[in-house]
Structure 1
Amino acid sequence: MRTRVLCLAALLAAGPAAALEPDVLFAKVSGSVWAIRTFDAQSRPLSAGSAVVIAPGRLVTNCHVLAKASSFVVRQENVAYGATLEYPDPQRDLCQVKVANFTAPPVALAPAGSARVGQRVYAIGNPRGLENTLNDGILSGLRGEEGERLLQTTAAIAPGSSGGGLFDSEGRLLGITTFAAKDGGSLNFAVPAEWLAELPARAKTALEARTSGADGNGRGAPAAGRPGAPRLGEVFEYVLIDGLTGTRTPVLYRVDRIDGENVSFNQGGRVEKADGRVVSIGAPIGGAFETASPPGGWGRPDLSAGMRWSADYVGPGSDRLRYQLDAAVLGTTELRVEGAPLAAWRIAYTGWMYVGVGSTAPAPHPFSATVFYSAELGRVVKFDAEYRRGAAGINREAVELVRIQR
């Protein structure tokens, strides 16, 4: 009895595990976070991302990192290994890969359900090719429904961070970093590590659904309404181009839920009808393409040459931005997406953007945009905007659809 009392007292005195200093945490887990490079059929580089070792010879990354790849390698410094896909779960954007003769140690996983808003977290990955970069922050939110929640964090991520690790203060894996909201401040997101346990079963289900065309619950099937409607798990990959600096930023819209006529992208960050009309934009990531979006979006399913309309609205990006725009359908043109021709309506928007600062009355600034809308896809495939906001001069932005990852 006395022995049991002493053991209990020792456990109580020990308390919870102490948080690691950032340098100690980095030394503990950085050897398990690798860069990933993908290549096309001609061995030309395609994309770069990150991957985390979760079991002997097994790493996990985001599926969008591997999209269109004919081959890929994982590497750290001067060491590289060929890898192969083992378990894909495109709906959750998680893919497990396997590597032969790979000895890097797996990370420890945080207990399921242990994520708490406000806790200190650390992101380790390869932003813009800078291997094993450490960024710290807090867990700033849990977004989505129970069982499908994304982790929102202020720990900075950038292109190349996709597939990296989000760790708690004890060096345990909380999530896999996935995407950042464009111009959204410190709005960065990761999928929870507890999903990793479900990867094998979900990959099997996804493969069976792909083979049969659907799984009986709408998974793998398109949203109702038109032949080209989005399918569950599809990713529409755009690029946002800053017209002044030439900076190109990937913008990904992943279909993660189809509920009748509503199609949800990025865990509800964008919701559309099956015919492409925009229902809501909760987390704008596409620059002015989203922050200035009219109700219903920039295009509509009933377009015809010479059609005109006007819109007076407050944009979804800020209640301090009001728009008064006139639209005119100029006709059709042919664009190319992934090398394939695509017919698109050309729509010109011109008018004013009213910007409010502090308590001052909103001041008008000219705003114009040229929109190319595909009726086949039910979405904008190219968007060019020019506007003036404050004393910063003229802003120019372009958003283009570059591929559809299926």
Structure 2
Amino acid sequence: MISGGEAELDCSMYIGEILMNDQAERQTGVALRGLVLTLVIHLLGGCGKSPDEIAAQDKARSERAIAAAQAELDADQKKFRQMASGELRVPSPNVMASPEPSPSDAPNLQPIDAKGVAAPAGASAAPAAAPWSAENVFSEVAPSIARVHVMDSSGRVVVIGSGVVIDKGIVITNCHVATRGTKLAIKINDSVMPATIQLADEALDLCRLNVAGLSARAVAIDSVTSLRTGQRVYAIGAPAGLELTISEGIVSALRKVDNGTVIQTTAPISPGSSGGGLFDMSGRLVGITTFQHRYGQNLNFALPADWIGQMHARRPSEAVSRAPFSADAGQDSSPATLIVGQWLCRDWISGQAGQYSFEPDGSLSIVMSGGRVANLKYRVSGKALQLSDAKQGGAATIEELNARKMVLHGRNQSIACER
């Protein structure tokens, strides 16, 4: 019996009626009726299964799939711990050390023709080829998508993110992923390899990772100027550590900021997606998936791929093993002491700049470039910066803090400050 509201369907009765009428009358109308009833029975889940039973089966299948993915993730994390402790050795390829990045190392953003070949300098782009399906985009770029594991000194994985191969031996990811620990490793195409930060630009929240011996091909890169609102895009990364996950959406808006244009998209992303790729309908990298609005629906954002080339104009940060809090010789290196004073800060997401004045008594005055003033209270506990006013509170993570520089990441904010 299949329950549905107040009515109940007896599967055996309907199947018998279908067969009897089909044999006796053999009329088209009856045959169609039989087909429809059979489809209804299948859609309801089969004879003798209630909707609750069907839901329970679906839940069990989902739980088994998640458990299998978690088991694979646990096995990978064991490899990372062994690699960090020296138990697991990765063969050292016979390659030369990577040179310091130079402007000539910037990824090529030349127009790409319908076959994916870069046009000669100064040439205009050829007419766009027919859009690829999600299946074709995934098949093209999946071998170039990495899962990034950030570990502490003991080899314990503390953060999982995503990355994209943009050059030989080079993976791009977010700095708010790569700088959260002391050691880095990536998993790509079933291979686990150690990585180091080659270039970090916290102001843009982009880090270039050097992965010796990485043979995965680089993706094609295109400018955000090629995008139009409403255009279909695909996000590929490792949300919740589930590597090589693709989601589909559209460009819902192109948000202008001081340094360029941030992409707002409905392509779903989750924690772990940070550093992954946002691709257009030709499989070209147009953005780096970075953050989402927690209190909205389908409010996801990607940094423009154009910023990858702009990183070269900035001073490389220290290696990933640097201490998050550091002071000059003879100074107190506690964050509560280092933060006191005046800072010139800029939020690269909103493009807003302001002067932040942290006082020793825990008061904070913010004067924005437009003249707006905010008076808050603050408290520092480890890497956590708690902020509050008379009505509500908030929090940010102190990613880096020294006598001259501070980097903060909060909900929908990434703030770089200097004295």
| TM-score band, normalised by shorter chain | 0.5 to 0.7
How far apart, in 2, do the equivalents of 1:201 and 1:402 lie?
26
Is the CA contact 1:29–1:171 (under 8 Å) kept in the aligned structure 2? yes
**Whole-Å Cα distance in 2 between the matches of residues 335 and 345 of structure 1?**
9
1:113 aligns with 2:212: no
Q: Which string of whole-angstrom CA distances, capped at 9 and with x for unpartnered residues, describes residues 167-206 of structure 1?
A: 00000000111111111211111111112122233245x6
The Cα of 1:300 is off from its aligned counterpart by 5.0
The equivalent of 2:173 in structure 1 is: 61
Is the Cα–Cα contact under 8 Å of residues 356 and 366 in structure 2 kept in the other structure? Answer: no
Flag the structure with higher helix content. 2
**Matched pairs, number:** 249
Unpaired stretches in structure 2, ≥5 consecutive residues = 1-125, 319-337, 358-363, 402-419
Distance 2:166 2:181 in 1: 22
Structure 1 CA distance, aligned partners of 2:380 and 2:223?
49
> Where do 5+ consecutive residues of structure 1 fail to align?
1-13, 208-225, 232-257, 281-294, 302-333, 350-368, 370-382, 384-398
For the aligned residues, what is the CA RMSD? 3.3
User: Aligned residue for 1:405?
Assistant: 400
**Offset, 1:277:** 4.6
For 1:335 and 1:179, the matched residues in 2 are separated by 24
CA distance in 1, matches of 2:143, 2:197: 21
Cα shift readout 1:115-167 (whole Å, capped 9, x = no counterpart): 22111111001111111111111111121246422111111111110100000
Question: Corresponding residue for 1:180?
Answer: 292
Partner of 1:268: 350
Q: Which residue of 1 aligns with 2:185?
A: 73
Corresponding residue number in structure 1 for 2:149 = 37
Percent of aligned pairs sharing the same letter: 35
Letter in 2 for 1:405: E
| Contact 2:131–2:281 (Cα < 8 Å) also in 1 | yes
| Structure 1 position 99, deviation (Å) | 0.9
- TM (norm. structure 1) is 0.54
- Partners of 2:153 and 2:288 lie apart in 1 by 28
Aligned to 1:133: 245
Give the conservation status (yes or no) of the 8 Å contact 2:258–2:348.
Answer: no
Rate the CA distance shift 1:404–1:110 in 2: closer, same or farther, 3 A.
closer
- Structure 1 segment 148-297 matched on structure 2, within 5 A: 148-204=260-316, 228=340, 258=344, 263-268=345-350, 273-275=355-357, 276-277=364-365
Distance 2:276 2:380 in 1: 35
Please state whether the residue corresponding to 2:197 is helix, strand or coil.
Answer: strand
**Deviations 1:89-128 (Å, cap 9, x if unpaired)?**
1110111111111111110011462122111111001111
Q: Does 1:96 align with 2:91?
A: no
2 CA distance for matches of 1:345 and 1:134?
Answer: 36
Secondary structure of the residue aligned to 2:252 is: strand
Larger radius of gyration: 2
The answer to whether the 8 A contact 2:220-2:283 is kept is yes
> Is 2:411 the counterpart of 1:299?
no
2:377 and 2:388 in contact (8 A); partners too? no
Amino acid at match of 1:337: G
Change (3 A) 1:73 1:274: same
Q: In proportion to residue count, which structure has more strand? A: 1
**Which residues in structure 2 correspond to 1:321-400 (within 5 Å)?**
336-338=381-383, 383=393, 400=395
Q: Partners in 2 of 1:43 and 1:52 — Cα distance?
A: 23
- Contact 1:151/1:175 (<8 A) preserved: yes
Equivalent residue letter for 1:72: L
- What SS does the aligned partner of 1:23 have? helix
Distance 2:213 2:380 in 1: 46
CA distance in 2, matches of 1:199, 1:346: 34
Deviation at 1:228, TM superposition (A): 3.0
Letter in 2 for 1:113: T
CA contact (8 A) 1:74 1:83 kept: yes
- Aligned counterparts of 2:295 and 2:341: Cα–Cα separation in 1: 28
Letter in 2 for 1:98: N
- When residues 116 and 157 of structure 1 are mapped into structure 2, their CA distance, relative to the original with a 3 A threshold, is same
- Residue 314 of structure 1 corresponds to none
CA distance in structure 2 between the aligned counterparts of 1:99 and 1:192, rounded to whole angstroms:
23
In 2, the alpha carbon distance for the partners of 1:161 and 1:142 equals 20
Change (3 A) 1:229 1:162: farther
How far does residue 16 in structure 1 lie from its aligned partner after superposition? 2.2
Larger deviation: 126-135 or 63-72? Answer: 63-72
Q: Distance in 1 between matches of 2:388 and 2:132?
A: 56
- CA 1:227–1:70 in structure 2 vs 1: closer, same or farther (change >3 Å)? closer
Counterpart amino acid of 2:280?
D
> How far 1:40 sits from its partner (Å)?
1.4
What one-letter code is carried by the residue in structure 1 that aligns with 2:237? Answer: G
Name the aligned partner's letter for residue 336 of structure 1: S
SS in 2 for 1:199: helix
